[in-house]
Amino acid sequence: MHLALAPMAGITDQVFRGLCFEMGCNLATTEMVSAQGYLTAPADRNAYRFLLARQASEGPLAVQIFGSDPVHMENAAARLSQLGLFSAVDINMGCPAQKVVGGQSGSALMKDIPLAAEIVRRCVKASSLPVTVKMRIGWDENSINAVEFAKAVTDAGATALTVHGRTRKQQYSGKANWEEIGKVRQAVSVPVTANGDIWDAASALECARITGCDSLAMGRGALGNPWLFQEIKAAFEGTEWHKPPFEDIMKTALRHSREMIAWKGEKSGMLEMRKHLGWYVTGQRGVAKLRTRLNLATSLSQVEDLLSTLLQKNPEE
Ligand SMILES: Cc1cc2nc3c(=O)[nH]c(=O)nc-3n(C[C@H](O)[C@H](O)[C@H](O)COP(=O)(O)O)c2cc1C
């Protein structure tokens, strides 16, 4: 089974991806990058330096772009593929955020199949890398067009698809429709990665059974839990897997913090880490107050103190 880390803006940076690769992830994608923003930004703009950074130790990494202007998309795909950092250019046709769909990008492209296909065609022509598409199953429940859309973008040259089994209108609510993903898999000849609501081994097995896909992408289930890849891999291999002891989870949280701070500096690094630290301690007993304090932490030494206190309170793990 091929396991991918689903792209998540603000989360799937090089540090988090590095942890996921160590735990068995086979493919990751950068956070989404605005094609127009990238093309017009000064070369030394920090935002793009961070968005496009990758560690040498990472596995295959796709760079994800969004936009609605075929010329911008084509030019961004061409430039990004020349960096020598990425294994594919992935086009975001699934983002539901208003500021993205307002510009006719992301999941808004599912309402305009000719434009989506034109973007893919141009990116394929301009890029030396394979071009892939991340999509949803439609705009809303009255316009589920995943099969038609998938056929159009693969006819245009997309070499793989990731399908999040929700409509744009659902955003992240309701339950992912794995049956619809299965219909896409049957309709196209390129690999289809199933995505949405894979939280653990059981849901991964069930999703693979229903969709028939041999590639799965996990997003929210990996938050504070990069071990998800190990867990799912073990389930498909039929081997035993045990959740890491609490001490190991805290060690990983600390390592994640140290690497983030080494990369972004203490101030920005700590701001980035607050959400991750909250996710790492989720599910532990009596952490409500600690979570608030972690959220206010401004230095690595504060995080070290807070996590070691937590460790002493949970000696059995
Ligand atoms: C915080 C957050 C940020 C996301 N950012 C992106 C993104 O940049 N590009 C993208 O294609 N999908 C993005 N997604 C969608 C995820 O890749 C994935 O499709 C979705 O979360 C469903 O999978 P899951 O149930 O495993 O989380 C984002 C999701 C979340 C929760």
Same domain? 291 vs 154: no
Relative to the CA of 166, which ligand 1 atom is closest?
22
Specify the pairing of strand 131-135 against strand 160-164: parallel
What's at 69, amino acid-wise?
D
Q: What pLDDT shows up at residue 281? A: 92
**Å from CA of 316 to ligand 1 middle:** 35
Same domain? 163 vs 261: no
CB 151 within 8 A of CB 101: no
Q: What is the DSSP string of 222-253?
A: GTT-TTHHHHHHHHHHT----PPPHHHHHHHH
Residue appearing with tokens 């793989």: 160
What's at 45, amino acid-wise?
R
In sequence order, the β-bridge partners of residue 2 are 215
Q: What pLDDT shows up at residue 314? A: 63
**SS3 state of residue 243:** coil
pLDDT tens string 109-124: 999 999 999 999 999 9
Take residue 140 and report the two structure tokens written for it: 């809303």
Q: What pLDDT shows up at residue 317? A: 44
Distance CA(129)–CA(108), nearest Å, equals: 25
Question: 292 lies in which domain range?
Answer: 246-313
Distance in angstroms between the alpha carbons of the first and the last residue of the chain: 30
**SS3 state of residue 284:** coil
Q: What pLDDT shows up at residue 316? A: 46
Same domain? 127 vs 226: yes
Q: Can you give the CATH number for the domain in which 99 is found? A: 3.20.20.70
**SS3 state of residue 215:** strand
**SS3 state of residue 216:** strand
Same domain? 154 vs 279: no
Distance CA(11)–CA(26), nearest Å, equals: 17
Same domain? 264 vs 192: no
Ligand 1: lining residues by beta carbon, under 6 Å: 6-11, 31-32, 64, 92, 94-95, 134, 164, 195-198, 218-221
Distance CA(109)–CA(249), nearest Å, equals: 40
| Ligand 1: residue whose CA is nearest its atom 31 | 220
Catalytic residues, by residue number, are 95
> Could you say which of 182, 213, 237 is where a domain stops?
237
Same domain? 263 vs 197: no
Distance CA(252)–CA(226), nearest Å, equals: 9
| Ligand 1: residue whose CA is nearest its atom 2 | 8
Question: Within the chain, which residues score under 70 in pLDDT?
Answer: 314-317
**Å from CA of 6 to ligand 1 middle:** 6
Take residue 91 and report the two structure tokens written for it: 């086009």
Closest CA to 264 of 63, 42, 51: 51
> Could you say which of 237, 259, 283 is where a domain stops?
237
pLDDT tens string 28-44: 999 999 999 999 998 77
Same domain? 228 vs 254: no
Q: What pLDDT shows up at residue 312? A: 81
Residue appearing with tokens 């060690």: 251
Same domain? 37 vs 172: yes
